[in-house]
Amino acid sequence: MRFILGEFTELYAKEICNWKYDGEYSIYNYPSWTKVLDNKWAITIEEKRKKEFFAVIDEEYKLCGYIRLQEKNECILVGVGLKPSLCGQRLGNTLMEIVKQQCANLYPRKIIALEVRSFNERAVKCYKRAGFIVKEIYKKDTPIGYGEFIRMELAIP
């Protein structure tokens, strides 16, 4: 499967609110669009969607995932999402190559960092294969639940 980056439209944002992950991964399920809109999540704010979010689409312009690049003082904080039906197909490698390329294009001198829930071994393995290393483990509360997180940074060659 070949991915391309596209504009992260409101239609795509609404679509991810309907994605449903199974089992322990259900923590990644977004609430309804109405609830997300009421709480002013970043995906509902057009300015943030245009600046921080990118749709990962296939050749038929179907949404397969998204990436979010938040510019922080010390780094670019990466967020990624892959459509539930595509998880477990080793597409994370392709997705992470897109992330690294987009960061290099937009923020060539910034550290690339991400955080992942510590139970998500599937994602941690993917990020390690992509060249990320563990920097810190901590607990925090988020809009979708409290948990333990791992902060990872892309190893500088």
Rounded to two decimals, the pTM is 0.91
For residues 135 and 146, what is the distance between their CA atoms, to the nearest angstrom?
A: 20
Q: Quick one: what percent of the chain has pLDDT higher than 70?
A: 98
- Does domain 4-154 fall into CATH 3.40.630.30? yes
For residues 25 and 121, what is the distance between their CA atoms, to the nearest angstrom?
A: 11
Each domain of the chain, given as residue ranges in start order, spans 4-154
| pLDDT confidence tier of residue 143, bands split at 50, 70 and 90 | confident
Residue 103 clears pLDDT 90, i.e. is over it:
yes
Residue 8: how many CA atoms within 13 Å on its side-chain side?
Answer: 26
The conformation of residue 39, written as its DSSP 8-state character, comes to: T
Tens-place pLDDT, residues 60-85? 999 999 999 999 988 999 999 999 99
